Amino acid sequence: MLFLITILIIVLDQVSKYVAVKYLKGNSPYIIIKNFFQLHYVENYGAAFGILQNRKIFFVIITSIVIVGIIFFLVKSSYGLNRMMEIALVILLGGSIGNLIDRIRLGYVVDFISVKFGKGYDFPVFNIADMAIVIGTFLIMVMILLNRYEA
């Protein structure tokens, strides 16, 4: 049942990226809230914030190891983790698989969500898989720091 969350994240991620490619690629950004939120097509050949550009094989290997590790951990430890930790792990899993699909299929990750904080800070463009990775990782960190991950 938990893996339905993973599947939902992957489907939402891939459909949104398909729409971004179809309607945003080659066009000017679509402004939703001026000077704050826009949809802007970007091909990310690196990791978060554009670091480690053009390291496709490295990212495919590392992401594959992370995915196998999460699946192994969920299967092996399913009775020892609380429900929130399991949810955090499947959210992280869905985001990881979503971006891995792009890296294998395209050689880069499609990003399209752009947030700006006034004229002072232009946050890096991201996607739904990135949001899932950040949310899942944040939840895992909080539960581990508070020692609240066991059933």
Q: Where are the alpha helices (DSSP H) in 25-147?
A: 56-77, 83-106, 128-145
Measuring CA to CA, which residue among 125, 138, 121, 59 is closest to residue 96? Answer: 59
Any domain includes 150: no
Per-residue pLDDT of 89-105, as tens digits, reads 999 999 999 999 999 99
Per-residue pLDDT of 9-33, as tens digits, reads 999 999 999 999 999 999 999 999 9
Any domain includes 135: yes
- Residues of the chain with pLDDT below 50 are none
Any domain includes 42: yes
- What is the per-residue pLDDT for 49? 63
Range of the domain at 137: 3-145
Any domain includes 96: yes
Any domain includes 121: yes
- What is the per-residue pLDDT for 51? 67
Task: Give the active site residues.
Answer: 111, 130
Any domain includes 151: no
Number of structural domains found in the chain: 1
Any domain includes 76: yes
CA pair distance 77, 51, nearest whole angstrom: 33
